Amino acid sequence: MNLFGNSLKYTSRGVIKVTVTQTQLDGAPNQRMITLTVEDTGRGISQDFLRNCIFIPFSQEDQLSSGTGLGLSFVQRITSQLGGNVSITSQVGVGTRVTVSLPMLIDTSSTATDLLPRGLPDRQSTCHGLRMRLVSPIQNAGAAPHQEALSFNTLISDLCCEHLGMIMDTVSDVEKAAPDVLIVKNNATGDLLASATPWPEAPLLVVCNNAFVVHKYESVYASAGRTRLQDFIAQPLSPKKLERAVSRAINLSAEPDESPPKLVEMPLPTPSDTASCSQPPTPAPSSMESPFDGSIPAEDYFQVPQFLLVEDNPINLKMLTCFMKKLQKPYCTARNGEEAVSAYKKVNGQFKYILMDISMPVMDGLEATRQIRAFEQFNKITASTVFAITGLGSESAREEATRSGVDCFITKPVKLRELEAMLSSQGVTI
């Protein structure tokens, strides 16, 4: 708290970044080096004070500022007693970085394991593999980027790429497909919408200074009827908080823009099914008295959905289901390969098209495809078309997928236009 308090006191605007990492010590399997880093974009410390006075009790470079000048000396003394060290780098007008390193023993007792907080499994982020791009509000021509903006960009890049496994687009990627999400810092002098003009279809996540600014922006844009901005998030940021915000923005952008024929969620034929289906609702009895009036064939009300969507990532699955709704195609969903095989067998292989994720828990997409192909051969039924949804680009991976029975490949992240083109090439009416 001493380190963070100093950053807070001397940083009137900008960014304060706190990180904690661990590394294994050579020759000590039961020890870890814990490194706490507090970095800010505040006023900074002069090199003379940094060399001669930084850890001396009661010393302050600015004698008029509040405090006693004991904080850093306490931190240095306690860290030294624990066998660690403190290092400080700073530049006036740029900011300060304080790093505290402490060797720690691993507590392997069951009591220590029980005390670990729930909800922190070693799992892959739901945003893993998604493409993001940082955009800046329109600035005056020739204006140099402010240090605050550079620090903010570094913070977001670290959170998205290092912690969430996202892919950051660069300037050279502008002409490529639109990113999955745009991230921008609110700026009273910039036009947020103009900043995102090159990518009108991508959701825009606006990072605000605090919750009050979030409320103000939401109220202003709601009253003005501006729907282009998908979501706002308040600082300070954490990986989990940013992950939720990105997921929320993508989900909102994936919702159908129009009001297509109503689709309802309904289970597969038996109550024990783990997959969910969506298709046009069955009409009320009064509307079924003349089913062959030429408007909608009666058999369409009871058809098995054409598409089986298999994806363990909830965000990706949400996007696929929204695509199906936009295309007005009935579908079923499964969360892993085992559920997919079960769903396929229960309708006796009547799915025409399967969108199969390759990397999934329980049973991966390749094994599920092999079992589906074996079921088709054994029962002598028409083979479904399997689209592999994958981030694997190697030739060997594609060859293995083809041997398993995959027909086509869709590269993550899936885009609606690319999916439409792929389906059209396989004879699907769009």
Among candidates 127, 133, 129, 125, which has minimal Cα distance to 202?
Answer: 133
CATH class of the structural domain 131-136+147-254: alpha beta
Query: What's the pLDDT at 278?
Result: 55
Residue 205 to residues 158, 229, 277, 427, Cα–Cα distance (Å) = 16, 7, 31, 37
Contact of 409 with 390, CB cutoff 8 Å? yes
- Please list the ranges in the chain whose pLDDT falls under 50: 113, 115-122, 138-144, 188-189, 257-274, 279-302
Domains 2-107 and 131-136+147-254 share a fold: no
Pairing of strands 353-357, 385-390: parallel
Name the superfamily (CATH) of residues 264-283+298-425.
Answer: Response regulator (3.40.50.2300)
Query: What's the pLDDT at 146?
Result: 59
3-state helix/strand/coil string of 3-71: HHHHHHHHCCCCCEEEEEEEEEECCEEEEEEEEEEEEECCCCCCHHHHHHCCCCCCCCCCCCCCCCCCH
Q: In the structure encoding, which two tokens stand for residue 335, read together? A: 């969360």
Judged on CB neighbours under 10 Å (0-12, 13-18, 19+), 29 is exposed
φ, ψ for residue 357, nearest 5 deg:
-70, 145
Please give the single-letter amino acid code of residue 140: N
pLDDT in tens, 331-351: 999 999 999 999 999 888 889
Name the superfamily (CATH) of residues 2-107.
Answer: Histidine kinase-like ATPase, C-terminal domain (3.30.565.10)
What is the domain partition of the chain in residue ranges?
2-107, 131-136+147-254, 264-283+298-425
pLDDT in tens, 159-177: 888 888 888 876 555 556 6
Looking up tokens 């909830």, which residue turns up?
314
**Cα–chain-centroid distance for residue 170?**
18
Looking up tokens 């006693």, which residue turns up?
68
Please give the single-letter amino acid code of residue 342: S
